[in-house]
Structure 1
Amino acid sequence: MEERITIYQTLDKLHLLLGSAKVIPMTGNKVLVSREEIGALLQQLEDAIAPEIKAAKKLLEKEEAILQESRNQATHMVNSANADAAQIRQDADHYNRELRAAADQEIARAKKQAEDMVSKASQQAAQTENEAQAQRSAILADAQNRASAIIAEAQRNADVLVSDSEITRRAQYEAEKLYEQTQQDCQQYSAQVHMNVTRMLEEVDNAMENQVNQLRALRQQLSAQ
């Protein structure tokens, strides 16, 4: 504050000195002043201004230091934010890879289970069909044997008792009737076995379809994430 007062006072002295100076004839506005007085006033003015300049310089240096510190902090914050973002992306990628790996394992397990179910069902169906075929063949063979035995017995009786072939025809009729009934029973049994195998395969198909739907839902959930 004192330096500013000194500056104003020195400027006033300069104005007074110039205002009271003698004008040089034939020169227009030029005046005659003392070099010593002008030099002394300029020195006073320079001495008064120097602290202001130093203070301004210090203020500028302080502002520059503050700005540099702010820039450094901003750079550090940006770098830290970028590092955090990179880490978050890395963690998210790792988590997604783990989820996909788990989903692939679950899909592979379900696929293997479905294939095993189909294979087992096919084996059971084939085994059931083979057993049914064997049982039907056994029934037919037994019926044929029984029919042949009846015919043979009737033939023997007919040869012993009478010469008429009525007994033989009746016995043959009964044997053929028994054979036809046996064939019908075998067909019904085969139809029942076929229905059971078809129902078992439908149950396997439904189970597989449910597992496929569950896998699709799981894949959609993973895709949504």
Structure 2
Amino acid sequence: MYRVFEALDELNQTLEQAYGVPMTANCMVPRNPMLALLDDLRNALPVEIDDAQDVLDKQEEILRGAEERARGMVADAEVQASDIVGRAQEEADSIVGDAQHHATAMIAKAEDDADHMVTSARREAEDTVNRAQAEADRLIADGNDSYRRSVDEGMAEQKRLVSDAEIVRRANDEARRIVDAAHADSERLRTECDEFVEAKLADFEESLSGVLHTVTRDRQALRRGAGVSRRRSE
């Protein structure tokens, strides 16, 4: 087969290197080398063509064998698939059975737990209600006691305030009396003070008059040329 391609390459090279005929698309090639190349091609082609014909002759046989093998493989695959499906169905049935059994057990346990929780919740609810009722009763009793104490304290405070108001009134009266007495004492003291000051001023005026009289007399004595001491001795 390699010789065929080699001869074709030589033929192509010879045609490319051939001289062209002027005014035409033809060319001139050497006859003998070209015939030799054609002989080589003729000698090389029959072997390859025979091989190709053998392949064509065996094509139907190969196809029949392939079809038979394919049918066998399909049959084997169908058998294996049937076996796999059967085993899968058995496993699925087993899994479903186990799941149903497990689900039944879980449902029973859940129902038991739910009943227990409901019972406990009811018991706790009753205890809570009882405690709440007792606490409410206690709070109501405490509230009533507190209300009564508040009322009693309010009444006592009201009485105390009334008493305090009377005391305030009396205190105001006493304060007014004390203020009036203070004003009277103030007027009396002012009068006495004025009288005392008046008396003192009168005494002081009398003393000053005596002193002025003595000073006047001494001045007159000085004017007359007599000594003050002599006049005093007289």
Asked if these proteins are the same fold (TM beyond 0.5), I'd say no
TM-score (norm 1): 0.33
